[in-house]
Structure 1
Amino acid sequence: MTDIKALAAGQKDYVISLRRHFHMFPELGGEEYRTQEKVMEELKACGLSPRSAAGTGVIAEFTGGRPGKRVAIRADMDALPLQDEIDQPYRSQHAGICHACGHDGHTAMLLGVAKSMKSLQAELAGSVRFLFQPSEEKFPGGAEAMIADGAMDGVDYVLGAHLWQAVPAGKIGVTYGRMMASPDAFTLTIQGRGGHGSMPHQTVDPIFIGAQIVVALKTITGCNMDPMEPAVLSLGMFKSGEAFNVIPDVAVIKGSVRTFQEATRQRIFERIHQICQGICQASGAQYKLDAIFGYPPVINHPAISKVIAQAGEQALGRDGVIEIVPVLGGEDFSFYLGKAPGAFMFVGAGNPEKGIVYPQHHPKFDIDETALPGGVEVLLRATLTLGGGR
């Protein structure tokens, strides 16, 4: 039998070089043309026949030497509209665009898995479908478009991995159910009546009304929700007015709601309406609430998480697998889980000794690249097990 550990370790230089290439040349969601070209080039070099999907995505399939299950593995490819501030030779060459979430590493790891498969063909039962997805960061995401292009047709199981700074390099984080939340957004527009700052009695002040609403909204999760059920309501923008002596007509507030249960989500938005209606009615203002409901929550299938955990123990040791607390960030990997049993894992990428301490979406975000071959090994082992064993 092929030594999986040695096979994955042998991909280290290849995977790191690819990760640095993608980091230097990041592309935003829907614009991953150069990334798509590079991925297809590498897959062809592995003897595969990739095809484009979802515009700038890629799908390729590898067939094993024995009958078995079809396992899909997904990596996302897009970057963020953020200036790269890392002091590294592989710093982004595209101003205002940066791989500050780890998607460069996801793409590189999946290519490492694809390259490894040639050595495993005789031992692999079933087949492996490689999904390189565009636009994970850009709502409504690329997962549904990939699925519409056949990504999940005939798939028995699906796996996904995310490099995660909060988990130390050399470990993976798993859950046996809830993993990531539904990320919803809302825009609240308060219509008042403007006027001169010296005559507030002639106005309906949207700043004052908005301030009351902001304070009241922050009571929802603390006062109206089950304290044992995770829920977050965050406010990220409050804009109104241009001059110190002019009371404006309009104030705009933008925020985010994160939940795992549909009933919790609906209750929060119901309370937002009630609060806005009550305060605005008492003040003589009008309001408009525009909600954007995001991806479903990522809920892992326990049996598949167990396979990942076992693969992690084989690859990284018993101490290399930790059960993590679910996070309230969102991920459109949830759409794949709606089509087949599967699980998502976090591949540890943080390392304080190397100064790798900045979180996802920070301009100084980086990863400990020694994590990449370990991620490749875990995915290889899990895929072989789910396909039907070696």
Structure 2
Amino acid sequence: MATSQDTPLSPSPLDTASVLEAAASLAPQVVAWRRHLHRHPEVAFEEVATSQFIVDTLRAIDGLQVSRPTATSVMAILVGASPGPTIAVRADIDALPILEENDVDYRSTREGAMHACGHDGHTAIVLGLATLLAAHRDRLGGTVRFIFQHAEEQLPGGAEELVQRGVMDGVAHVIGLHLWAPMPFGRIGIVSGPAMASPDTFQCQIIGRGGHAAAPHETIDPIAIGAQIVTALQQVVSRGVDPLDPVVLSVTQFIAGTTNNVIPSTAFIGGTVRTFDADLRRSVPAQMERVIQGITAAFGASYAFSYELGYRPVVNDPSLAARLSQVVERTFDQDTLIPLRPTMGGEDFSAYQQKAPGVFAFVGAGNESAGITFPHHHPRFQIDERSLDVGLRYLTAATLELLDTPV
């Protein structure tokens, strides 16, 4: 006959409402973490002090197994009291090479570096999540991996490297969020299916023949040729692609010449292409090169064209997106969840989604009345810090849901 000594005890039910209340009480600490990170930004692949701050913070929390998958990334593992699925929660930690123009007491102290995309907030939120869940470890089933990823802002990105290091091995679901300035505070958007595009880049050097600007007939003018290429490339989208298929082709650089009386020998064009569809992603570069080849040949010039694939598109698992949308509706006010269209921005969260079904959500961080209207990657980018509490409560409820703990 079995006795209580040889029968494992199940953890008592977790009062998820109290956990969410604790999340709200933790908001001042999350804001403090965010402001510390904002003061001390580090760009991609240089997150030395940032990752050390994360390590020190996590090691002060009982019950976490803290490791460094790479030199500037961090992972903490929380093993619950009973068996269950393994859930990964990801935060990106790198800043951008931007000179901050905000006049706040927590502005960047590093010249030419700034958290201008909200990664400081993402990191603070997941630190808060680790704090909350570790405090309830004895009543959790399953395992949570908190991934603090380096180098989201720069190819080849940190996510792929971490996947290769095994951070996703055995993971059932992966979730993450982005504080989103174009959306007002108090709103959460979850896209079902394609959510963010693949951010590919291209470069083209036009090679002509320079000469005196007073004798243009003796030259092969790469500027005039380049201007035609820039215009003609727009027809790749408007005439070479089904109008129902989303594609963005933007020329963002045109560099040529050094003075006003010399036609240069070369001109440089660069930019980005954004797509969701894999076939389009393959076909658009070929169409671009055909245009470039035809125009340069027509005027006796030559060219060098290169195309670099960026991150894969972020595609949210539809069934998981529906499940987490219900979590938002149960956890927040009725009007918190809003319909959200995909964005042509890119994110290397997609690397994790190659290993497990995942959802990348958007948490509103804008506030027009407070002047928080500047776009991501702007030197005056800011967030409504109340969005940190919303993000923490969302990730808390979502993680508990995926650990099969009712919310």
What TM-score, normalized by structure 1, do the two folds share? 0.98
Please list the CA deviations of residues 274-300 of structure 1 after superposition, one character each: whole Å capped at 9, or x if unmatched. 111111111000011111110000000
- Percent of aligned positions that are identical: 45
Larger Rg: 2
- Residue matched to 1:193: 209
- 1:43 alignment partner in structure 2: 58
Distance in 1 separating the partners of 2:218 and 2:87? 66
Contact 1:8 1:374 (C-alpha < 8 Å) held by counterparts: no
Instruction: Tell me the distance in 2 between the aligned counterparts of 1:280 and 1:118.
Output: 62
1:381 is aligned to 397
Corresponding residue number in structure 1 for 2:3: none
Q: Partners in 1 of 2:154 and 2:362 — Cα distance?
A: 21
8 Å contact from structure 1 (residues 125, 384) kept in 2: no
1:310, distance to aligned residue in structure 2 (A): 2.0
Q: CA RMSD in A?
A: 1.1
Aligned 8 A contact 2:20 2:396 in 1:
no
- Measure the CA separation in 2 of the matches of 1:227 and 1:123: 52
1:299 alignment counterpart: 315
Aligned to 1:253: 269
Give 1:10 deviation, angstroms.
1.3
Q: Find the counterpart in structure 2 of residue 7 from structure 1.
A: 22
Alignment counterpart, residue 264 of structure 1, candidates 274, 280, 293: 280
SS of the residue corresponding to residue 45 of structure 2 reads coil
Deviation readout 1:71-102 (Å, 9 max, x if unpaired): 00000000000011112111111111000000
1:203 to 182, 201, 219: 219
SS at match of 1:53: coil
Separation in 2, partners of 1:275, 1:307:
45
1:319 matched to 2:327? The reply is: no
2:186 corresponds to 1:170: yes
Quick one: which of 31, 42, 48 aligns to 1:33? 48
Find 1:308's aligned residue among 317, 324, 340.
324
2:258 maps to amino acid: E
Partners of 2:253 and 2:134 lie apart in 1 by 50
Segments of structure 2 that go 5 or more residues without pairing to the other structure are 1-14
* Rounded Cα–Cα distance in structure 1 between residues aligned with 2:307 and 2:102: 35
Aligned equivalent of 2:150: 134
Q: How far is 1:308 from its partner?
A: 2.1
Distance 1:230 1:166 in 2: 20
Helix, strand or coil at the partner of 1:219 = helix
Which of 375, 382, 388 is matched with 1:372 structurally? 388
User: Does the CA-based 8 Å contact 1:157-1:386 persist in structure 2?
Assistant: yes
Q: Which one of 59, 73, 96 corresponds to residue 112 of structure 2?
A: 96
Which whole-Å CA distance do the structure 1 matches of 2:405 and 2:21 have between them? 19
* 1:183 maps to 2:199: yes
- Whether the 8 Å contact between 1:161 and 1:344 is mirrored in structure 2 is yes
Residues 46-67 of structure 1: CA deviation (Å, up to 9, x unaligned): 1223111222000110011221
Q: Aligned partners of 1:118 and 1:256: how far apart in 2?
A: 42
**What per-residue deviation string (whole Å, max 9, x for no partner) do you get for residues 189-217 of structure 1?**
00001111122221111011001101101
Q: How many residues matched? A: 390
SS at match of 2:148: strand
- The residue that corresponds to 1:288 in the other structure is 304
> Structure 2 counterpart of 1:329, which letter?
G
2:162 pairs with 1:146: yes
Q: Equivalent of 1:363, from 366, 375, 379?
A: 379
CA distance in 2 between counterparts of 1:377 and 1:355 reads 25
Specify the alignment match of 1:219 in structure 2. Answer: 235
**Structure 1: how far apart are the matches of 2:70 and 2:161?**
5
- Asked whether the 8 Å contact 2:181–2:375 carries over to 1, the reply is yes
Name the SS for the 2:335 alignment partner.
helix
SS at match of 1:311: helix
Query: Could you tell me whether the CA contact under 8 Å between 1:170 and 1:316 is conserved in 2?
Result: no
Q: List alignment gaps of at least 5 residues for structure 1.
A: none
Cα deviation code 1:150-177 (max 9, x no counterpart): 2101111100111000111111111110
Partner of 2:11: none
1:328 to 344, 347, 352: 344
Does structure 1 retain, via aligned residues, the 8 Å contact 2:20–2:397?
A: no
TM-score by length of 2: 0.94
Amino acid in structure 1 at the alignment position of 2:381: F
Question: How far does the alpha carbon of each residue in 1:308-358 deviate from its partner, in whole angstroms, 9 at most, with x for none?
Answer: 212222332221011200000000000000000111001110011111111
1:61 corresponds to which of 71, 77, 83 = 77
Structure 1 residue ranges, 4+ long, deviating more than 4 angstroms after superposition: none
Partner SS, residue 86 of structure 2: strand
Question: What residue in structure 1 maps to residue 7 of structure 2?
Answer: none
Report the CA distance between 1:119 and its aligned residue: 2.9
Structure 1 CA distance for aligned equivalents of residues 193 and 273 of structure 2: 20
In structure 1, which of residues 84, 88, 92 is the aligned counterpart of residue 100 of structure 2?
Answer: 84
